[in-house]
């Protein structure tokens, strides 16, 4: 580990000036002159950086080491491989051997390194804000132990860790009166309840989309909001890679109210209010079971369906009926190779119906199966809202933030504050910490030892990348202390517990791999309990309101746990491209009905009849494609704790969450007449008939010559007076190029975050984003096509296209941007004087300018990638194709005296992409994916008519819609 | 002496005052007691200059982010102000050099004035290429100097040429102005009321004695410099226009730009001359040196250049449509006339092309009030024209996803007002320190027109 020490600024110790010898005088004078020289170099770091005295054998300065570990969210692990530079974790990539990652990462995973170095993390044990000693905690826990757990309530985040479970069981045995609650606001509950309804047991649904030919997602954001989202995105994309018009493609239906990444890649998208999903599920069940598959339609169902239909309001639009019929037809045709998936904010009955449909289609055991829940006691009362109630004498909140992220009518902040003795263990001085008496700094995932299970049950070891930065304690340490049995070290505790709970599984081997192969939970044999299900179906579809609210986790900050992470706040939310805020997403028609436009503030109100105020004033943001008469509001904002970045941003959606109304309540919206400027990164969504984001259907690609010709026109050579780029390419160096597949891109923004993390792009803040000065080198453009009634969002990752005839290069007066021999458009930061002429002449507007000194000099800078220069004020910057990775691969290849492997260089965006929509490689290598993709009939260049000959090509967005039923 | 020369002389110099009278009248502007009006104007301009320096300091210390610029609109007020000021700086040399070579006698009484305006406008303009850089301390990299790194400016870009053109123009303008000033400085030296002034003007007069030999050399050098300055008038704004024309951006990418920019520059320059000279004429009572004949000639030039500019606008729009290029068509037919900034387009047309039509009337051409008002409008219109080119084109270019609005900050506005103040400050100093109507040249013109035989003139 690199060591630093504070600069010695004491006056030299030595003889007093009155007794100064001539020799000593010259020594001091010389030192003074040298110090003056150092003082002149004011940009030098204020600290000395010392080399290793004894260099660890595995460390080469400048070459990162990689360790497998995992990030855990609501109990579900996602495997990561973390790069560590001399003991400093700097970047996460997915662990290809982990089933929940398959090598990809989510945006919020990428940002975890920034949270690790968050200077605002809780730093010391406090007693009502005053620093306290660990002995005070020992006393508190000893007192609770002495009472045998009487009046003790422990609130944990849902956990799947075998090691924590062992401790919980020991606490339960030792202190039988202690009550445990597990709380995370968006933990899956409805799925388990639904499966209990349909199958008789609270089981967890598992999906395998690799063989799914037809997928119906009912309010289910399979590719972005699911513990297995990365795997789902990969599996769906693998079935939708279009090589030419004869490629096989799955068919994806999305039924949803907000515009999710799953909706973006769907072939058919039905925008409906959240409550309508129930009705659609019932109709789908009716249609599928009517297809005459043997034994698929028990008599009990007929009566239930008839009852549900009879009570329901008159039929929805004919469009819905046609789509439902088409869904049923495609599901039926792909029986055994189809999936009906349901999102967790839907009520249990929809999950139950989906289980029944999957069973009726014969999908069980193929694309869909069920396992015991991987989260400890999931589906049991300890996970319910009611488990949070009670008046404990000693309250231990070990993680999470229930004072903020819970139904507002519980009044948990007050309840926690009422507890005579309370302790909060967590990363931040958040709302819950402020309600508790004692606060103990917690451990970041990258600081701790442990284990967790992936959604499919795969056991995933967790190892620290760095010593705890702020004297944090683990959940296990608190539980051990509660038992009066403090472990020797975290490592020893973990190793011993692992040996006890997972005998025969080599801990070190598991750590090296990051997952225990074959440890996924076995499928449980199930039978649909039609008789239990029938009454629920009969009652389904009755929920309805003139205006419905969906409280959804924010795709990046989730339930507020990451709201202090500026990377995630500045990452444009995919559907609205909003940064630094949350807003009520609604459709243009609903906005017109309310008489509001983007930025106008409405007061949302949920009727509850309790003493709490369920009103939130939020700005409106119009999202074309959102369901009418519905509002989506992201949680995680309106934070009121001690985190200075998070505090005061947006409005808390949890104020509208009541135990009665749930996460999708009826709501009223009243325009307040005031306005808030929203920092949206893209304000114009019309393509203006320009050749930018091209697309069509698979049918067109196969049969429509005009369509293929149009695509070919967007890549074939243009008449030019200029000499073409030198070619044919020499064998060496490589000619780098990128290919981006718009068919599989979901617009999830994982690549944007990965790019920012890899390339040290700064955060600029809301005010700067409002003036269009965000610094992301890679952005996701989002256009809207289709009709006003059926808008279709088209997403397009846009970054430096590395034009062979680059317009930016010839206008630079100082040659700060030039072309490399291997086809990169390079920026020489030292030479740039900041005329910004290059940006003006860039038709893609992908260049970014350091308008101010945006460098972050806080602890955050430890997350910087040491391989990438941090840019100065006044300098232009842009995507480099991750040139540092290219050069690293070149060096490695030269040392080993070999050529660079075909897929050896992976850009950060490419590595992060769960759908593998980004390909990178050399055009001189005919085996490379980019070379192959360039030969496909739907490969094209954006703004080809500008003659820029971009090295980045796109594969047109191909959809596979079914013929109307 | 012919009748026409006599008539012209009567128009240009009513009353044909003698040498002594001219000297007394025109040199006295430097020694008159300061008036309250002058002091007030000087104080206002001084305050605005301080504002400018404060805004410049803020920009250099904090960064270009203090301005409203963004991506896509990476150039904003900085470049608009640059082009506007440099355009204003055109009229001086045009009047001095080109009209001198064309023997337009009426130029004589206003040429010093306009040359001064040129210099001070170019000083304002020269601030911006420096200031708009992200790292202004490296501005010297734009010049070809022998560096240890063996790096040179990139000559395919217009910006090094721009730097060269503007600095050349400034240098030649200074020399031309100073050369014309030497005889009058000598006259001031000879009439200086105090020893300090005599020494100062004496040094500046470079030992001028008014000998025939000196006059001969002076005339040769003056005409040579005029010959040198003439192509610069055309080249500097042509080169400035290349900052835009060499790009591929719709609204910039146009071969029309060099002549279009020169015409626009002369239009704005003449307008600025009128804005400055009309008050000066009134305050200093120079109705005999700057006569309706002068005003009439300048108004005609404004009218002519206004038509050239209108022709350019129409051509630009026509070519945009005729090109069939979807981006050009959008820029000229949709974005400018009906986009976010449509008001600026229509206001620009009204100022530059509609208001000037008043000058078809001789009465209007000779009415100082009308001239002053129209000149102000033209200056506003020409500023808006650069706004149209720089901001409006950039705000909506190729990818609609990148489109964004530009809004100036208070620093932008402060710098624009500050340069107006700084310009005024320099100008007020100029009015006080040197005779702003060239005395020697005026006497010479009077003598030539009064005595020169008609057949000896070309």
Does residue A605 fall inside a structural domain? Answer: yes
**The pLDDT of residue A853 is above 50:** yes
User: Cα distance from B134 to chain A (closest Cα, Å)?
Assistant: 4
- Domain hosting A35: range is 3-50
Query: Mean per-residue pLDDT for A917-926?
Result: 92
Chain A residues whose CB is inside 8 A of the B399 CB are 690, 692, 781, 798, 843-845, 942-943
3 state SS for A893-947: HHHCCCCCCCCCCCCHHHHHCCCCCEEEEECCCCCCHHHHHHCCCCEECCCHHHC
Are residues A253 and A283 located together in one domain of the fold? Answer: yes
Identify the band that residue B149 occupies on the pLDDT scale cut at 50, 70 and 90: confident
Selection from B376, B369, B333 nearest residue B351 by Cα:
B376
Q: Which residue of B has its CA nearest to A815?
A: B154
Distance from CA of A720 to the nearest CA of B (A): 14
Residue A44 pLDDT more than 60? Answer: no
pLDDT level of residue A5 (50, 70, 90 thresholds) = very low
Q: What was the pLDDT predicted at A315? A: 52
Q: What is the pLDDT of residue B394?
A: 94
- Predicted local confidence at residue A7, as pLDDT: 38
* Confidence band, pLDDT 50/70/90 cuts, at residue A702: very high
Average pLDDT of chain B, as a whole number = 87
pLDDT of the residue at B216 = 92
Kindly report the backbone phi and psi dihedral angles of residue A478, in degrees, each rounded to the nearest multiple of 5, phi listed first: -65, -45
Q: How confident is the model at residue A661 (pLDDT cuts 50, 70, 90)?
A: confident
Q: Pick the last residue of a domain from A360, A385, A405.
A: A360
Specify whether A35 is located in the same domain as A152: no
Count of Cβ atoms closer than 10 Å to residue A523 Cβ: 15
Smallest CA-to-CA distance from A654 within A514, A528, A560 is with A560
Cross-strand partners of A615:
A605
B159 touches chain A (CB under 8 A): yes
Domains of chain B: residue spans and CATH: 3-144+152-456 (1.20.1630.10)
- Predicted confidence at residue A8, as pLDDT, reads 36
Q: Please check the confidence at residue A505 and state whether its pLDDT lies above 90.
A: no
B-chain residue closest to A816, CA distance: B154
Q: Which of A771, A813, A844 faces B153 most closely, judged by CB atoms? A: A813
CB-CB neighbors (< 8 A) of B246 in chain A = 810-811
Residues A644 and A753 in one domain: no
User: What is the model's pLDDT at position B110?
Assistant: 76
Confidence of residue B124 (pLDDT cuts 50, 70, 90): very high
User: Which of A815, A840, A874 shows the shortest C-beta gap to B134?
Assistant: A874
Angle among Cα A191, A192, A194 to the nearest 5 degrees reads: 65
Predicted confidence at residue A3, as pLDDT, reads 38
Same domain, A467 and A322: no
Confidence category of residue A821, pLDDT binned at 50, 70, 90: confident
The whole-angstrom separation of Cα B67 and Cα B78 is 9
**Does the CB of B133 have a partner CB in chain A at under 8 Å?**
yes
How does the average pLDDT of chain A come out, rounded?
88
Does A370 fall in a domain?
no
Interchain CB distance below 8 Å, B141 and A798: no
Separation between Cα atoms, residue A56 and residue A455, nearest integer Å: 37
Distance of CA B84 to the CA centre of its chain: 8
Residue of chain B nearest A691, judged by CA positions: B399
Q: CB–CB of A532/A200 below 8 Å? A: yes
Average pLDDT over every residue of A523-534: 87
Mean pLDDT of A243-268: 93
B247/A841 CB distance under 8 A: yes
| Statement to judge: residues A461 and A582 lie in one domain | no
A317 band by pLDDT with thresholds 50, 70 and 90: low
Smallest CA–CA separation between A163 and chain B, in Å?
49
Of A513, A532, A564, the one marking the end of a domain is A513
Q: Kindly determine whether residue A943 and residue B394, on different chains, have CB atoms separated by under 8 Å.
A: no
Residue A209 lies in a domain: yes
**Mean local confidence (pLDDT), A846-867:** 91
Q: Are A77 and A162 within 8 A, CB to CB?
A: no
Q: What is the pLDDT of residues A405-422, one digit of tens each?
A: 999 888 888 888 888 999
Percent of all residues in chain B with a pLDDT value above 70, rounded to a whole number: 94
The verdict on A745 and A839 lying in the same domain is yes
* Contact check, Cβ <8 Å, B157/A810: yes
Residue B430 sits at the vertex; the CA angle it makes with B424 and B433, to the nearest 5 degrees, is 140
Tokens of A194: 């639904």
Query: By the 8 A CB rule, do A196 and A877 touch?
Result: no
- Of A58-67, A781-790, B336-345, which gets the smallest average pLDDT? A58-67
Q: How far apart are CA A869 and CA A114, in angstroms?
A: 18
Chain A residues lying within 8 Å of B157, measured CB to CB: 810-813, 837
Residue A120: the pLDDT is 92
Q: How high is the pLDDT of residue A386?
A: 87
- pLDDT(A17) > 50: no
What stretch of H or E contains B442? helix B439-451
Q: Which of B75-84, B105-114, B312-321 has the lowest mean pLDDT?
A: B105-114
Helix axes A134-146, A475-482, angle to 10 degrees: 50
- Contacts of residue B138 in chain A, CB cutoff 8 Å? 833
Q: How many CB pairs under 8 A join A and B?
A: 163
Q: Which of A830, A844, A845, A942 to mutate to test the interface with B (most CBs of B within 10 A)?
A: A845
Measured between CB atoms, does B329 come within 8 Å of chain A?
no
According to the model, what pLDDT value does residue A681 have? 94
Residue A14: C-alpha distances to residues A17, A26, A38, A411 (Å):
9, 13, 22, 65
Strands (E), A628-744: 630-634, 668-675, 679-680, 695-697, 736-741
Above pLDDT 90, what percent of chain B?
45
Report ipTM for this prediction: 0.91
Confidence at residue A748, expressed as pLDDT on a 0 to 100 scale: 93
Over residues B261-282, mean pLDDT: 88
Count of CA atoms in the C-beta half-sphere (13 A) of A133: 3
Q: Angle at Cα A64 formed by Cα A58 and Cα A66, nearest 5°?
A: 80
pLDDT value, residue B76: 92
What CATH number is associated with residue A155?
A: 3.40.50.740
Predicted pLDDT at A965: 53
pTM of the model: 0.90
CB pair distance less than 8 Å for A832 and B403? no
Dig out the tokens for A100 from the structure: 């929940």
Note whether A392 and A454 are same-domain residues: yes
Chain B residue nearest residue A808, CA to CA: B247
Omega before B93 cis (within 30°)?
A: no
Are both A167 and A280 inside the same structural domain?
A: no
Q: Which of A491, A513, A535 is the last residue of a domain?
A: A513
Question: CB–CB of A814 and B398 under 8 A?
Answer: no
Chain A residues close to B64, C-beta within 8 Å: 834, 849, 851, 874
What are the CA-CA distances from residue A881 to residues A300, A386, A827, A922 (Å)? Answer: 60, 52, 11, 12
Q: What is the mean pLDDT of residues A453-466?
A: 92
Give one DSSP letter per residue of A571-627, joined into a string.
SPPTTT-EES---EEE-HHHHHHHT--TTEEEEEE----SSS--EEEEEEEE-TTPP
Pairing of strands A578-579, A615-622: unpaired
What is the band of B249 on the pLDDT scale with cuts at 50, 70, 90?
Answer: very high
Q: Do A174 and A244 fall within a single domain?
A: no
Residue A68 resides in a domain: no
Give which of A476, A520, A517, A514 is closest to A70, Cα–Cα. A514
Q: Please report where in the chains the tokens 């070190």 appear, as a residue.
A: A508
A848 to chain B: which residues are within 8 Å by CB?
71
**A237: its two tokens:** 């994309």
Confidence of residue A11 (pLDDT cuts 50, 70, 90): very low
pLDDT band at A38 (very low <50, low <70, confident <90, very high): very low
In the sheet with A615-622, reading across from the earlier edge strand, the strands are A548-552, A630-634, A584-586, A615-622, A600-605, A668-675
User: Could you tell me the CATH number of the domain that includes residue A591?
Assistant: 2.40.40.20
Is residue A405 domain-resident? Answer: yes
What are the CA-CA distances from residue B431 to residues A289, B29, B113, B284 (Å)? 97, 7, 9, 10
pLDDT at A964: 66
Question: What CA–CA distance (Å, rounded) separates A191 from A286?
Answer: 21
The residue-averaged pLDDT of A58-85 equals 90
For residue A49, what pLDDT band results from cuts at 50, 70 and 90?
low
Cα distance between residue A816 and residue B60, in whole Å = 21
pLDDT of residue B94: 78
H or E element that contains A77: strand A76-85
Assign A319 a pLDDT band (cuts: 50, 70, 90): low
Angstrom CA distances, A255 to A264, A792, B203, stand at 11, 14, 88
* Residue whose tokens read 């039609």: A530
Looking at the structure, tell me whether residues A569 and A586 fall in a common domain.
yes
Better-scored residue on pLDDT, A964 or A96? A96
A587 belongs to a structural domain: yes
Q: What is the pLDDT of residues A83-124, one digit of tens each?
A: 998 889 999 999 999 999 999 999 999 999 999 999 999 999
Is the predicted pLDDT of residue A907 greater than 90, yes or no? yes
Looking at residue A916, its pLDDT comes to: 94
Looking at the structure of chain A, the number of domains it has is 5
CATH number of the domain residue A943 falls in:
3.30.70.20
User: Which of A851, A852, A946 is the closest to B248 by Cβ?
Assistant: A946
Query: In angstroms, how far apart are the furthest CA atoms of chain A?
Result: 110
- Give CA–CA dist B356/B366, Å, rounded: 13
Distance to chain A for B139, nearest Cα, Å: 7
In a domain, A690, yes or no: no
DSSP A299-353: HHHHHHHHHHHHHSPSP--HHHHHHHHHHHHHHHHTTTSEEEEE-TTS-HHHHHH
* pLDDT exceeds 60 at position B457: no
Q: Which residue has the tokens 């009418």?
A: A628
Contact B399 A836 (CB under 8 A): no
Name the strand (E) or helix (H) holding A552. Answer: strand A548-552
CA distance A700 to chain B (A): 25
User: What value does the mean pLDDT take over residues A864-869?
Assistant: 92
Are A818 and A809 a contacting pair, CB within 8 Å? Answer: yes
Q: Is B357 left (phi over 0), alpha (psi -120 to 50) or beta?
A: alpha
Minimum CA–CA partner of B65 in chain A? A851
Identify the pLDDT of residue B431: 84
Residue B30 pLDDT greater than 80, yes or no: no
Look at residue A855 and tell me if it is in a domain: yes
Does the pLDDT at position A759 exceed 90?
yes
Inter-helix orientation angle B439-451/B19-27, to 10°: 150
**Using 50, 70 and 90 to split pLDDT, how confident is the model at A959?**
very high
Q: How many angstroms separate the CA atoms of A481 and A479, rounded? A: 5
Q: Cβ of B346 under 8 Å from any chain A Cβ?
A: no
State how far the Cα of B403 lies from the Cα of A597, in Å rounded to an integer.
Answer: 19
Instruction: Give the range among A151-155, A722-726, A927-931, B341-345 with minimum mean pLDDT.
Output: A722-726
For the stretch A743-758, pLDDT in tens is 999 999 999 999 999 9
**How far is the C-alpha of A145 from the C-alpha of B93, rounded, in Å?**
95
Query: What is the tens place of the pLDDT at every residue in A340-370?
Result: 999 998 999 999 999 999 998 889 989 999 9
Q: Is the same domain home to A741 and A794?
A: yes
A768/B159 Cβ within 8 A: no
- Residues A342, A469, single domain; the answer is no
Give B327's contacts in chain A (Cβ within 8 Å).
690
Per-residue model confidence (pLDDT) at position A699? 92
Cα separation, A498 vs B11, whole angstroms: 108
């Amino acid at each position: 580990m690199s060591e630093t020490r504070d600069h010695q600024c004491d006056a030299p110790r030595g003889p007093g000036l009155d007794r100064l010898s001539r020799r000593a005088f010259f020594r001091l004078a010389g030192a003074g002159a040298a110090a003056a020289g150092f003082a002149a170099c004011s940009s030098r770091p204020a600290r000395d950086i010392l080399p290793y005295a004894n260099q660890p054998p595995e460390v080469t300065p400048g070459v990162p080491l990689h360790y497998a570990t995992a990030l855990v969210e609501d109990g579900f692990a996602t495997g990561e491989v973390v790069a560590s530079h001399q003991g400093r974790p700097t970047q996460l990539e997915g662990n290809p051997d982990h089933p929940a990652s398959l090598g990809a990462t989510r945006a919020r995973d990428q940002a975890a390194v920034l949270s690790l170095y968050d200077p605002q993390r809780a730093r010391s044990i406090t007693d009502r804000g005053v620093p306290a000693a660990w002995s005070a905690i020992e006393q508190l826990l000893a007192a609770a132990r002495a009472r045998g757990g009487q009046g003790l309530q422990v609130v944990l985040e849902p956990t799947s860790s075998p090691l924590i479970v062992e401790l919980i069981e020991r606490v339960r045995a030792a202190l039988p009166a202690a009550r445990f609650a597990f709380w995370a606001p968006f933990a899956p509950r409805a799925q388990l309840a639904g499966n209990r309804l349909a199958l008789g047991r609270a089981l967890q649904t598992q999906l395998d989309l690799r063989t799914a030919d037809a997928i119906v997602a009912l309010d289910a954001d399979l590719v972005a909001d699911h513990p297995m989202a990365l795997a789902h995105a990969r599996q769906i994309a693998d079935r939708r890679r279009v090589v030419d018009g004869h490629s096989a493609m799955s068919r994806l239906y999305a039924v949803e109210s907000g515009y999710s990444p799953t909706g973006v890649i769907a072939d058919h998208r039905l925008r409906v209010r959240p409550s309508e999903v129930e009705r659609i599920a019932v109709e789908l069940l009716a249609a599928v079971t009517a297809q005459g598959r043997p034994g698929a339609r028990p008599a009990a169902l007929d009566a239930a369906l008839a009852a549900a239909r009879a009570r329901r309001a008159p039929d929805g639009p004919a469009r819905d009926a046609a789509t439902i019929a088409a869904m049923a037809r495609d599901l039926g045709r792909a029986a055994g190779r189809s999936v009906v998936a349901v999102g967790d904010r839907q009520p249990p009955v929809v999950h139950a119906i989906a289980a029944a449909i999957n069973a009726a289609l014969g999908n069980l055991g193929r694309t869909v199966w069920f396992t015991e829940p991987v989260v400890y006691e999931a589906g049991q009362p300890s996970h319910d809202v009611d488990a949070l109630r009670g008046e404990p004498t000693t309250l231990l909140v070990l993680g999470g933030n229930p004072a903020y992220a819970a139904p507002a009518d519980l009044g948990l902040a007050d309840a926690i504050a009422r507890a005579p003795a309370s302790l909060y263990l967590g990363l931040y001085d958040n709302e819950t910490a402020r309600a508790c008496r004692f606060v103990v700094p917690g451990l970041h995932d990258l600081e701790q030892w442990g284990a967790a299970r992936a959604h499919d049950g795969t056991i995933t070891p967790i190892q620290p990348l760095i010593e705890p930065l702020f004297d944090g304690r683990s959940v296990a340490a608190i539980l051990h202390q509660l038992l009066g049995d403090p472990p020797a070290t975290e490592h020893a505790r973990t190793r011993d517990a692992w040996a006890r709970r997972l005998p025969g599984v080599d801990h070190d081997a598991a750590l090296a791999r990051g997952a225990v192969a074959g440890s996924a939970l076995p499928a449980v044999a199930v039978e649909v309990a039609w008789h239990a299900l029938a009454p629920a179906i009969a009652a389904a579809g009755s929920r309805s309101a003139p205006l419905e609210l969906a409280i959804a986790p924010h795709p990046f900050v989730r339930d507020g746990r990451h709201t202090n992470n500026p990377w995630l706040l500045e990452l444009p939310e995919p559907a609205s491209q909003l940064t630094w805020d949350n807003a009520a997403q609604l459709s243009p028609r609903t906005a017109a009905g309310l008489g509001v436009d983007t930025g106008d503030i409405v007061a949302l109100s949920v009727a509850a009849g309790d003493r709490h105020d369920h009103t939130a004033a939020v700005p409106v943001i119009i999202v074309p494609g959102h369901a009418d008469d519905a509002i989506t509001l992201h949680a995680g904002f309106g934070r009121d704790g001690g985190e200075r970045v998070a505090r005061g941003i947006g409005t808390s959606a949890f104020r509208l969450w009541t135990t009665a109304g749930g996460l999708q309540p009826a709501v009223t919206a009243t325009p307040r007449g005031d306005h808030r400027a929203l920092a949206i990164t893209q304000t114009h969504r019309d393509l203006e008939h320009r050749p930018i984001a091209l697309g069509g259907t698979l049918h067109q690609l196969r049969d429509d010559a005009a369509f293929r010709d149009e695509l070919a026109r967007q890549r074939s050579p243009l008449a030019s007076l200029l000499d073409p780029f030198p070619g044919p390419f020499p064998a060496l160096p490589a000619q780098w190029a990128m290919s981006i597949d718009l068919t599989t891109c979901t617009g999830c923004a994982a690549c944007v975050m990965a790019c920012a993390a890899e390339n040290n792009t700064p955060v600029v803040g809301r005010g700067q984003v409002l003036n269009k000065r965000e610094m992301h080198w890679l952005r996701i453009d989002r256009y809207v096509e289709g009709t006003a009634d059926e808008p279709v969002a088209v997403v397009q990752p846009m970054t430096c296209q590395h034009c062979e005839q680059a317009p930016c290069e010839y206008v630079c007066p100082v040659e700060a941007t030039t072309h490399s021999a291997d086809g990169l458009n390079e920026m020489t930061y030292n030479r740039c004087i900041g005329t910004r002429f290059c940006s003006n002449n860039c038709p893609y507007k992908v260049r970014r300018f350091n308008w101010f000194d945006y460098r972050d000099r806080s602890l955050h800078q430890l997350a910087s990638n040491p391989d990438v220069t941090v840019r100065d004020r006044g300098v232009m910057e842009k995507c480099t194709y991750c040139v540092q990775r290219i050069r690293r691969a070149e060096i490695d290849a030269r040392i080993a005296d070999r050529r660079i492997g075909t897929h050896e260089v992976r850009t950060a965006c490419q590595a992060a992409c769960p759908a593998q929509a980004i390909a990178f490689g050399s055009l001189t290598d005919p085996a490379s994916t980019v070379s192959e993709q360039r030969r496909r009939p739907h490969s094209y260049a954006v703004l080809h008519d500008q003659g820029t000959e971009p090295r980045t090509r796109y594969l047109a967005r191909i959809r596979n819609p079914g013929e109307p039923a | 002496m012919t009748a026409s020369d006599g008539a012209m002389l009567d128009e240009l110099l009513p009353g044909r005052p003698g040498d002594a009278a001219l000297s007394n009248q025109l040199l006295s502007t430097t020694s008159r007691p300061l008036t309250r009006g002058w002091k007030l104007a000087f104080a206002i301009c001084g305050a605005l200059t301080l504002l400018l320096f404060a805004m410049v300091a803020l920009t250099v210390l904090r960064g270009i982010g203090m301005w409203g610029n963004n991506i896509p609109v990476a150039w904003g007020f900085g470049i608009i102000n640059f082009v506007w000021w440099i355009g204003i700086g055109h009229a001086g040399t045009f009047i001095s050099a080109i009209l001198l070579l064309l023997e337009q006698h009426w130029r004589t009484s206003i040429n010093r004035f306009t040359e001064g305006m040129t210099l001070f406008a170019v000083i304002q303009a020269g601030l911006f290429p420096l200031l708009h850089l992200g790292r202004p301390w490296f501005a010297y990299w734009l010049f070809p100097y022998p560096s240890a790194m063996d790096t040179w400016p990139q000559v395919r870009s217009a910006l090094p040429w721009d730097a060269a053109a503007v600095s050349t123009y400034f240098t030649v303008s200074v020399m031309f102005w100073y050369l014309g000033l030497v005889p009058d400085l000598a006259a001031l030296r000879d009439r200086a009321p105090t020893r300090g002034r005599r020494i100062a003007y004496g040094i500046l007069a470079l030992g001028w004695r008014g000998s025939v030999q000196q006059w001969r050399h002076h005339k040769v050098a003056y005409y040579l410099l005029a010959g040198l300055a003439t192509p610069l008038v055309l080249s500097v704004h042509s080169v400035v226009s290349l900052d835009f024309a060499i790009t591929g951006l719709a609204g910039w990418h146009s071969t029309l730009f060099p002549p279009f920019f020169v015409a626009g520059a002369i239009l704005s320059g003449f307008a600025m001359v009128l804005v400055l000279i009309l008050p000066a004429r009134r305050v200093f009572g120079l109705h005999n040196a700057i006569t309706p004949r002068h005003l009439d000639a300048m108004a005609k030039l404004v009218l002519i250049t206004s038509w050239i500019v209108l022709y350019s606008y129409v051509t630009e729009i026509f070519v945009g449509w005729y090109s069939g290029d979807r981006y050009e068509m959008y820029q000229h037919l949709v974005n400018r006339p009906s986009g976010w900034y449509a008001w600026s387009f229509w206001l620009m047309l009204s100022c530059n092309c509609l208001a000037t039509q008043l000058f078809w009337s001789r009465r209007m051409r000779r009415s100082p009030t009308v001239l002053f008002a129209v000149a102000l409008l033209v200056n506003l219109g020409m500023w808006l024209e650069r706004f149209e080119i720089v901001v409006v084109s950039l705000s909506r270019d190729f990818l609609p996803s990148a489109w964004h609005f530009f809004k100036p900050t208070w620093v932008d506005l402060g710098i624009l007002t500050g340069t107006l103040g700084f310009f005024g400050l320099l100008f007020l100093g100029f009015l006080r320190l040197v005779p702003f109507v060239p005395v020697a040249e005026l006497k010479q013109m009077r003598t030539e027109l009064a005595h020169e035989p008609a057949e000896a003139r070309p």
